[in-house]
Amino acid sequence: MSLQAGTYQLGPGDGTLSVRTGRTGAAAKAGHDLLLHVTAWEATLAIGGDLAASSVELAADAASLRVREGRGGMQSLGDDDRASIEQTIDDDVLKRQDIRFRSTAVTGGDGTLRVEGELTLAGTTRPLAFDLHVGDDGRLRAVAVVTQSDWG
């Protein structure tokens, strides 16, 4: 299925924006692979009659990430652990600076759009590309791989 031309406003009432983390190096044995949900976000998809005129924008409140799951590690996560992780993300990782994505190109068709643009995390902007899939039921799904060290 493809999206009809128009402007679509999306937020937490329309779907889930998730972040999955993985561990490498010394932290691989002690840390946890996390599933975080971004609880305050908004996205705008503007689909033009000509796909080249389309755009995707996302703004997310960096302080709204909530730990939903923690796998691995030496012990399971408790409520205090979850709160500590959220505090560390707010204060040390994202530094309470909003997350923003703005597309520079949208191409494709037949149910999959290739979205290229710039992602800003913790005040650093880098290029990011991902595929946006449109299901037969009209649902949207995308996965983007972000390596934390690329954004400092």
The structure's pTM equals 0.84
> Cα(92)–Cα(87) distance, rounded to whole angstroms?
8
Q: pLDDT tens per residue, the chain (152 residues)? A: 567 889 999 999 999 999 888 877 765 667 788 889 999 999 999 998 888 899 999 999 999 989 898 887 777 888 888 888 888 888 888 888 889 999 999 998 778 899 999 999 988 999 999 999 988 888 889 989 888 778 77
pLDDT of amino acid 24:
72
Q: Token pair 């730990």 is at which residue?
A: 67
pLDDT of amino acid 27:
59
Closest CA to 32 of 77, 66, 86: 77
pLDDT of amino acid 26:
65
> Cα(74)–Cα(76) distance, rounded to whole angstroms?
7
pLDDT of amino acid 106:
93
pLDDT of amino acid 115:
94
Closest CA to 146 of 113, 99, 107, 95: 99
Q: Are 98 and 59 in contact (CB under 8 A)?
A: yes
How many Cβ atoms sit within 10 Å of the Cβ of residue 6? 10
Asked if the structure places residue 1 within a domain, the reply is no
pLDDT of amino acid 132:
92
Would you say how long the chain is, in residues?
152
Asked if the structure places residue 82 within a domain, the reply is yes
Here the CATH number for the domain that contains residue 77 is 2.40.128.110
Q: Could you list the residue range(s) of the whole structural domain that residue 146 is in? A: 6-151
Burial class (CB within 10 angstroms; exposed 0-12, middle 13-18, buried 19+) of 124: exposed
* Total number of domains constituting the chain: 1
Asked if the structure places residue 12 within a domain, the reply is yes
User: Listing from the earlier edge strand, what are the strands of the sheet with 124-134?
Assistant: 6-10, 41-47, 55-60, 99-109, 112-121, 124-134, 140-143
pLDDT of amino acid 1:
57
Q: Which two tokens stand for residue 89?
A: 């993300």
